[in-house]
Amino acid sequence: MNTFAAEQLSYWIATAPQGEPRPALERDITVDVAVIGGGIAGLSTAWELARSGRGVAVLEAGRVAAGVTGHTTAKLSVLHTLVYERLRRTRGPEAARLYARSQSQALRHAAAIVDELGIDCDWEEADAFTYVQDAARTGELRAEAEAAREAGLPADYVTETDLPYEVAGAVRVTGQAQFHPRKYLLAVADELLRQGAEIYEHTRVTGLKEGEPCRLTTEAGVTVTARHVVVATHYPIFDRALLFTRLSARRELVWAAPVPADQAPHGMFITPEKGTRSVRTAPYEDGQRLLIVTGEHFTPGAGDVEARFERLADWAVEHFGKLDFTHRWATQDNDSTDSVPLVGPLPTAGRHTYVATGFGGWGLSTGIMAGRLLTELINGREPEWSGLYDPRRLGTVVREAPAFLKHQANVARHFVGDRLPNVSGGSTDDIAPGDGAVVLTGGHHSAVHRDDEGQLHAVSARCTHLGCLVAFNRPERAWECPCHGSRFDTEGNVVQGPATRPLERRDI
């Protein structure tokens, strides 16, 4: 095993360079629809809106297709681990059918876009599998296969897969797809520009005043006036309805290594066992395939990330043989408390603000689905599945209670615990090069990183979202907030929301 030669970079980002940044927004503009966020959900929404004749501006805080979408495992599948039996049980068979239909339609729609634009994005059809190795769990898989079939999917229960190890049972859904998400999305962004849409990068939105029209303000002090606003920032940056109480953030780690093509398993695989393991392959150099293994999910800011990377690498070697890893990276997902994404009008906001979030690790099909759904809603139509995804849904509150309470207990622990004196301490002398720690200085919590040259970099340790204490992720050299998943670089700049303001610099 050679894990140390691996580049700490997403394979998708490494193999689809982006060129010069698109301009930042430096003047006030007026537009029909402002879409905040340039990932799969934001660009898909902008694409559908532009196609329907709407004037659109995309406002991206960093680079388009470089955030969560640039770090995904890029499966376009409607088999979302074990969602159908749960939906059938909690919201009825019709909800499961609508979920299956909306996600299947998104997959077909993506295939049509690839065809129409002639996008070279390594598109491949593949069957999707959810499997278990523990024989005691095969009943769950049988029930999932039955629920998925009843929902209208080409699903069956199997006991053999193309994986090089035994499974006790698996749900298979045929005719799914996998692709290179950045090749796809960068081509969509280029086409959007050709169609007259505006895309601004390095344009962080920090304020929203709802009304008719709505007004957005950016970090640079520019105003965007828009009739409609779509918040597609992964975790919503504007959340007057407290959606964050129904969302929990989770990070997952990814390793990639080439394998001989004749040893690469055909299909896309996931198991809920062992803290989730996901497997797919992608085209690679010299007739090889790139094995991509994902797992070890954890709350941002929690635990030893390096040890988790090692554990996942060991698992991959144990199951696939000797591997020379080329890339490793991490991704972040938001789980909703009832396992159904939140896509539609932003609760308690004005009538013209919409949100797409809570994709639960299935952001590609759901992001494309969200683009179509939000466009329909903005254009005054209601697809049959709008109620299923409606963020204002209340009927599921009681059924969501266990997940809701578990998430809130974790957040409350940080809200309260992080405000107690001496919650953390230590001295900057104890911080090794490349590492970071929260220390008490002058009665304040400071997040201190020591770089490879021994220089200290200090910022406030209070997350600018709602004030929890951040923790250091050493392999990724980032400060992470365990409450809602905001992430900051070592200088305190926001890498990932919901926070929109940087951590304050500190002298130390």
Q: What is the CA radius of gyration of the chain?
A: 22
For ligand FES, the closer CB: 76 or 483: 483
Q: 93: which 2 tokens? A: 């068979």
Q: How is residue 52 annotated by DSSP?
A: T
Q: Give least dist CB 497 to ligand FES, A.
A: 8
| 395 burial level (CB within 10 Å; 0-12, 13-18, 19+) | exposed
Stretch near ligand FES under the rule CB under 6 A, chosen from 25-33, 179-187, 289-297, 483-491: 483-491
For ligand FES, the closer CB: 76 or 463: 463
The β-bridge partners of 298 are 251
Using alpha carbons only, give the angle 11, 39, 207 rounded to the nearest 5 degrees. 135
Tell me which residue of 199, 194, 192 sits closest to 31, measured CA to CA. 199
Stretch near ligand FES under the rule CB under 6 A, chosen from 18-26, 397-405, 419-427, 463-471: 463-471
| 307 burial level (CB within 10 Å; 0-12, 13-18, 19+) | exposed
Q: Give the integer Cα–Cα distance in Å for 505 and 356.
A: 32
* 459 is an interface residue for ligand FES by CB under 6 A: no
Q: Give the torsion through C-alpha atoms of 490, 496, 499, 505, to 10 deg.
A: 10
* 463 is an interface residue for ligand FES by CB under 6 A: yes
Backbone angles phi, psi at 259, to 5 degrees: -135, 155
Q: What are all long-range contacts of 183-186, with beta carbons under 8 Å and residues at least 24 apart? A: 183/16, 183/119, 183/120, 183/121, 183/122, 184/110, 184/113, 184/114, 184/119, 184/121, 184/123, 185/39, 185/40, 185/43, 185/64, 185/65, 185/69, 186/16, 186/18, 186/64, 186/65
* 86 is an interface residue for ligand FES by CB under 6 A: no
Q: Give least dist CB 334 to ligand FES, A.
A: 11
For ligand FES, the closer CB: 80 or 484: 484
Q: Give least dist CB 366 to ligand FES, A.
A: 22
For ligand FES, the closer CB: 371 or 498: 498
Among 468, 471, 494, 503, binds ligand FES (CB under 6 A): 468
Q: Are 474 and 436 in contact (CB under 8 A)?
A: yes
Q: Give least dist CB 29 to ligand FES, A.
A: 29
Could you tell me which residues come within 8 angstroms of residue 453 by beta carbon, excluding any fewer than 6 positions away? 433
For ligand FES, the closer CB: 258 or 498: 498
Stretch near ligand FES under the rule CB under 6 A, chosen from 77-85, 140-148, 265-273, 478-486: 478-486
The β-bridge partners of 205 are 218
For ligand FES, the closer CB: 291 or 483: 483
Among 334, 486, 490, 496, binds ligand FES (CB under 6 A): 486
Q: Give least dist CB 240 to ligand FES, A.
A: 15
Q: Are 294 and 331 in contact (CB under 8 A)?
A: yes
* 484 is an interface residue for ligand FES by CB under 6 A: yes
* 498 is an interface residue for ligand FES by CB under 6 A: yes
* 466 is an interface residue for ligand FES by CB under 6 A: yes
Q: Give the integer Cα–Cα distance in Å for 417 and 120.
A: 50
State the amino acid at position 59 in one-letter form: L
Q: Give least dist CB 301 to ligand FES, A.
A: 9
Q: Give least dist CB 377 to ligand FES, A.
A: 27
* 481 is an interface residue for ligand FES by CB under 6 A: yes
DSSP 234-276: SS-S--TT-GGGGEEEEEEEEEEEEEEGGGSPSSEEEESGGG-
x/- letters, 275..314, toward ligand FES (CB under 6 A)? ----------------------------------------
Stretch near ligand FES under the rule CB under 6 A, chosen from 8-16, 91-99, 131-139, 477-485: 477-485
Q: Give least dist CB 210 to ligand FES, A.
A: 22
Phi-psi category of residue 151: left, alpha or beta, with phi > 0 → left and psi -120 to 50 → alpha: alpha
Stretch near ligand FES under the rule CB under 6 A, chosen from 128-136, 262-270, 318-326, 460-468: 460-468
Q: Give least dist CB 465 to ligand FES, A.
A: 3
Tell me which residue of 81, 287, 47, 56 sits closest to 189, measured CA to CA. 47
* 483 is an interface residue for ligand FES by CB under 6 A: yes
Q: Give least dist CB 154 to ligand FES, A.
A: 40
* 247 is an interface residue for ligand FES by CB under 6 A: no
Q: How many residues form the binding site for ligand FES (CB under 6 A)?
A: 12
* 494 is an interface residue for ligand FES by CB under 6 A: no
Establish how many alpha carbons lie within 13 A of residue 156's alpha carbon, considering only the half-sphere containing its beta carbon: 7
Q: 110: which 2 tokens? A: 């993506």
Instruction: Write out the residues near ligand FES by the rule CB under 6 A.
Output: 463, 465-468, 481, 483-486, 498-499
